Amino acid sequence: MTHRPRGVALVTDSTAGIERLAPKFPCSVVPLTLEIDGTLYKEGADLSAADFYRLLEVAGSPPGTLPPDVDEFADVYAPLLAESESVLSIHLSGELSRTVERAREAAVRLGAEDRIVVLDSRLAGAALGLLCLEADARLRRGESLAGTRDALERIIDGIRVYFSVYSLDFLYLGGRLDRVGGSGSREAEDRPILSLEDGKLVLVERVIGETTRVDRTVELVAEEFGDSEPLTGAVTHAGRRGQAAATRMEELLGGDAGRVDIAFSLPLGPVLCAHTGFDVCGIAVFPSRLSAAGR
């Protein structure tokens, strides 16, 4: 792993997908843990997205997820503090996981609260990965830690995440989404579109069919940002139908007629997929004027 000597070291957690995005990306990754039928796996290190998909198909009970413990964060931070002036640690939404809480506890344990900046991204998955890319781009061009953090906060405020799932059952079982009432056909309930608001999962609406969920997501992006604002984005997917939907979304938003600069498209990681189930398709987008990575 490459670090920035006497600069700012970058840390994130495994839900960002950074290791799959760029194996040599100069960012330390603290893994979350999955429990599947009594066996514990570290996301990324022990369990890839493809391996998890196969295990989930035959699992006897719903998988569980655990945040890193304080010791794991301390073990990552300590050598970075010896090499660098400070650490910027960017993590999964505190509304969805205790990961960011454990990171802050580790900074206190090391007596390094003044050198370790822990940022609650209020995001997850591809959106978190985008934020890490932006942090790296700004630090590489010499921006200060304070300036980088302010820029990331502006992106967090401006980013929008939309994703569809086959069913809400996994989110209900994992306690990540409050049960909501409503009417509609069974088919409509099988294509919910969700978003993140202040780090919390919210149900946007239900639609019918694979094509409709893609078209409606594209419409939601246009409704939020208008028809002319250049955007930077990332796509995520899980399962065969989810991947097909993601491909079509990329074509509509990032193709010749599109206006979204798609930074990457990745399979949804095991920890997040444990709470969404298969056949996920999603996108995170924010105004390109806020981006440093593409400049």
**248 and 235 within one domain:** yes
How far is the C-alpha of 269 from the C-alpha of 53, rounded, in Å?
10
Other CB atoms within 10 Å distance of the CB of residue 176: 20
Residue 63 in domain: yes
**138 and 19 within one domain:** yes
Residue 2 in domain: no
**272 and 184 within one domain:** yes
Closest CA to 220 of 132, 281, 291: 281
Q: Show the domain range for 149.
A: 8-157
Domain final residue, candidates 157, 179, 209: 157
Residue 295 in domain: no
Q: Are strands 116-120 and 260-267 parallel, antiparallel or unpaired?
A: unpaired
How far is the C-alpha of 291 from the C-alpha of 295, rounded, in Å?
7
Tell me the pLDDT of the chain (295 aa) as tens digits: 444 446 999 999 999 988 777 667 789 999 999 998 888 999 987 777 778 888 877 877 788 899 999 999 999 999 999 999 999 999 999 999 999 999 999 999 999 999 999 999 999 999 999 999 999 999 999 999 999 999 999 999 999 999 998 777 667 666 666 666 544 444 444 688 999 999 999 999 888 877 788 999 999 999 999 988 999 999 999 988 899 999 999 999 987 667 899 999 999 999 998 888 778 999 999 999 999 986 6
Query: Which CATH number fits the domain that encloses residue 164?
Result: 3.30.1180.10
Residue 1 in domain: no
**153 and 12 within one domain:** yes
**Count of domains forming the chain:** 2
**113 and 102 within one domain:** yes
- Sign of dihedral through CA atoms 114, 116, 121, 127? positive
For residues 62-91, one letter each, b for 16 or more C-beta atoms within 10 angstroms of the residue's C-beta and e for the rest, the string is ebebebbebebbbebbeebbeebebbbbbb
Residue 3 in domain: no
**139 and 33 within one domain:** yes
**196 and 72 within one domain:** no
Contact 148, 8 (CB under 8 A): yes
Query: Which CATH number fits the domain that encloses residue 130?
Result: 3.40.50.10170
Domain final residue, candidates 125, 141, 157: 157
Residue 279 in domain: yes
